[in-house]
Amino acid sequence: MTASRDPDRLLQRAGVRGNPDRDQHFLVDERVLDRLPTYLPADADRSHVLEIGGGTGALTDRLLATSDQVTVIERDPDLVAFLRQEFADERAAGHLTVRQGDALEIDLPADATASVSNLPYGVSSEITFRLLPLGIPTVLMFQREFAERMAAEPGTSEYGRLSVSAQHYAAVEVVEPVPPEAFSPPPAVDSAVVRTTPRAPDYEVDDEDFFLRFVKAVFTQRRKTIRNAIRNTAHISGLDDPDAVVAAADEELVSKRAGDLAPDDFAALARLAVERGGTDG
């Protein structure tokens, strides 16, 4: 199969226009669309690709050309009806499934092997953290600022809770900046494509839910030392005895600020917190 559908003509046939108030910006730059599937890792299993937010099918068309099976989740019922009609042959052949629903609420296909998506920016974080635990490679479009924070390294201004949480599940790379003119209508921000490649972290976490909650808590006070951040955010992390954690921790570590800690530092502190501080679950 080869991609053959022009994104502007798809918009015309669908009879829709993007609506910024509904976080609706259609990707129409064919060069970007053509590149998106190629950003999956070379050894990625493309047998079943999940697309969140199919829109009028410009990216769907490219995914069908490079994958055995595609599942599209689209919230807008009018666009779902259009996709089902536009891709009737591909659906009949068993290559495409179009599901109506909110990607934050409906079950994602358990057998998906990868995801390539132009995400609605307003819920991009929530959707990303539904995808990352699946352990599949992804190629996702984000606001550029969000993308850079996902991939940020410790000690940089962009590094934060998002960086640690995303990189807990995968290697994260910004692979292409995308200007507003690539969309219809153009958004008010620059965009960027991010590739995530699943990998096991190089540290151990006994309680993943607590680890992520602990990271979130500490970064709410990123200007404070870790010592004070742990003490001040026990109501978020759920620690019963934050002072015991601080007393047991390495002095050099708790004297730093959150933005200077590597993910394995957070993991060590989270393990200590569970051992010494007690949690409310």
Per-residue pLDDT of the chain (281 residues; tens, 9 = 90+): 566 899 999 999 999 987 777 778 899 999 999 999 999 999 999 999 999 999 999 999 999 999 999 999 999 999 999 999 999 999 999 999 999 999 999 999 999 999 999 998 889 999 999 999 999 999 999 999 999 999 999 999 999 999 999 999 999 999 999 999 999 999 999 999 999 999 999 999 989 999 999 999 999 999 999 999 999 999 999 999 999 999 999 999 999 999 999 999 999 999 999 888 766 54
The binding site comprises 25, 27, 53, 74, 102, 118
Cα 195 to the center of its chain, rounded Å: 9
Token output for 29: 């730059």
Cis peptide before 137 (omega within 30 of 0): no
What are the Cα distances from residue 174, in Å, to 109, 151, 155, 266?
Answer: 26, 7, 18, 24
CA-based Rg of the chain, rounded to a whole angstrom? 21
Rounded to whole angstroms, how far apart are CA atoms 212 and 216?
6
State the amino acid at position 259 in one-letter form.
G
Which CATH number does the domain 7-198 belong to among 3.40.50.970, 3.90.226.10, 3.40.50.150, 3.40.50.2300? 3.40.50.150
Of 98, 95, 66, the closest CA to residue 1 belongs to 66
CB 79 within 8 A of CB 53: no
Length of the chain measured in residues: 281
The pLDDT, as a whole number, for residue 278 is 65
CATH pick for 208-277 out of 3.40.50, 1.20.120, 1.10.8, 3.30.1490: 1.10.8
Domain with CATH 1.10.8 in the chain: 208-277
List where CATH 3.40.50.150 sits in the chain: 7-198
Per the annotation, binding residues for S-adenosyl-L-methionine are 25, 27, 53, 74, 102, 118
